[in-house]
Structures are given as C-alpha cells and as structure tokens.
Amino acid sequence: MRYPVLRPPYVYRWAALLSTLVVAISLLVSMFSPGLDQSPAAAQVAARQDVPAAASTPAEVSAPPADPSLIHTTARTGRYVALTFDDGPDPAYTPRILDVLARNGAVATFCMVGMQVTRHPELVRAVLGRGMRVCDHTVSHDEELSTRTEQRMTAEIQGCWADLQVAADKDVPVDYFRAPAGRWSPPMRAIASRAGMKALSWTVDTRDWAMPGAARIVASAQHDIRPGALVLLHDGGGDRTQTVDALEILLPWLKSQGYEFDFPA
C-alpha cells in the first residue's frame, strides 16, 4: 500500500524559501563587509590583538629590570656618603630627621615599610617634597621573608611598591628595595629586579637600632666611614631619639671632613 506524500500548503513553502534567501544574503554581507565582526570568537581575538595586556608587575609600569647585584656604594665617586633610614615613616621621628637633613644640606633615602606607609601617607609626601628618595622595605618587615614562598615574597615586595604609589598620590619612582634585616635570598633579588628596583645594602651599620646612645652611634659611623659609604640608620621601628641626636653631631662632622651627600648607586 502506498502512502500519500504530505506536502505543506504553498504559503508555508514560500515562507521557508524566503527565510533561506534572507539567511544567504546575511552570510554574503558578512563575508564582504570587513568592518563587521563575523562571530563572537572573532570579536574576542580582535580584542586581544588591539588592546594591550594589563600590567602584572611594577616593572611593567615603572621601569625595566634592574641589576640584581647588591649596591654597596654611592652614585658618584669621590668623597660622598649616602644616608639611608629604615622602618619608617614615623610621625615622631621622620619630620625631625628631615629637619636635621635640611639644616645640613643633606639628602637621604628612606626605606619604608608598607604598613607604616598606609598609616602615614602624608609623611611619604613630606619625604618626597624635601627632595629625598624612597625605597621599598616590604609590607610587613618580616625578617624571615627570605625563607618564605616566592608568592609571599612577591606580595610583600610588590605590595609595598603599590602602597608607596597610593600614598604619594602620583607616579613615584622607587629605585631601591632593601630586604628586612638585610637577609637576602636570590629569589628576593630577582623579584625586586623584575620590578625595576635595585637591591640596596649598606657598608656602615651605626647599630642605632640597638639604641646604644647617641655618642656610640656617632663613634660607629666615624670609625667606618669611607668615600662612597652607605650608612644604615633608622627613622622607625622604635624610639629613635638617639638617632636624631646623633645626626645633629654626625652631619656637621661629615661636612668638616670634606664629605658631601649623595644617593646610592
């Protein structure tokens, strides 16, 4: 037995034919119109090609990689010294130190801790406003950072860099990174280098962090000072009254010995 072939009414057959024709015309238009996106996938590819990738590290927005070797000298050769102050900024001591520096025509580098930076952003601006430089000293000053994971090291180093930018309220160069307590590791130096920061060491430890008295701080500096020296001092992390008092004696003495003040290399 043969079954009759069922055909739709003519009106539906014409509708199907018109729909097919519309689709074909749309495809031809998209093929020959370069200004139109051909598909969502094509749009995503074009976006990836046209829009630069977001910066993932400070190095990509601030500076090319720096030499990872430790810095032990001033930028200029000759009878120069570079003063460095760690663990601030501190509202009790940083302004007083800035005043002593100004009275003696001295410049210095302040190695700042991110937690202090976020508490006292106005002091970051004050330091920069006096013509000083800032140095990344990590977010939390974890003295065991060199033993942590690379991810933790990156967070501490790049986090402080970001804190300094926010506190300064402008793009500020951060030329140096100093490890907490001077405890370095190759990964730490590599992370700082990729962020465009030089690894800042010292050659004269005044031991002011031990609070031995202003006279002992001065004597330590005078004994070890050489042309090109990097002097370690502190403006935070404790009572720094002795450091301020020592600077009142040390800076005039340095000038009397023919020294000038410089930044690290």
Query: Is residue 152 one of the residues assigned to a domain?
Result: yes
How do strand 80-88 and strand 204-205 relate by DSSP bridges? Answer: unpaired
Catalytic position from the list 86, 87, 136, 175: 86
Query: Is residue 51 one of the residues assigned to a domain?
Result: no
Query: Is residue 50 one of the residues assigned to a domain?
Result: no
User: Residues 6 or more apart from 29 whose CB is under 8 A from it?
Assistant: 36
pTM of the model: 0.77
- Alpha-carbon distances, residue 106 vs 79, 185, 219, 254, 262 (angstroms): 14, 32, 20, 10, 8
Query: Is residue 225 one of the residues assigned to a domain?
Result: yes
Cβ–Cβ under 8 Å, residues 114 and 139: yes
Give the model's pLDDT for residue 60. Answer: 47
| pLDDT digit string, tens, across residues 201-229 | 999 999 999 999 999 999 999 999 999 99
Query: Is residue 1 one of the residues assigned to a domain?
Result: no
Give the model's pLDDT for residue 63. Answer: 60
| 234 noted as active-site residue | yes
Please state the domain count of the chain: 1
| pLDDT digit string, tens, across residues 59-72 | 444 467 888 889 99
Give the model's pLDDT for residue 65. Answer: 87
Catalytic position from the list 120, 137, 141, 234: 234
Query: Is residue 10 one of the residues assigned to a domain?
Result: no
Query: Is residue 40 one of the residues assigned to a domain?
Result: no
- What is the span of the domain harbouring residue 256? 70-261
CATH of the domain at 96: 3.20.20.370
Give the model's pLDDT for residue 68. Answer: 83
Give the model's pLDDT for residue 66. Answer: 82
Residues in the chain predicted with pLDDT less than 70, given as ranges, are 1-63
Give the model's pLDDT for residue 20. Answer: 46
User: Residues 6 or more apart from 98 whose CB is under 8 A from it?
Assistant: 126, 127, 130, 132
Query: Is residue 44 one of the residues assigned to a domain?
Result: no
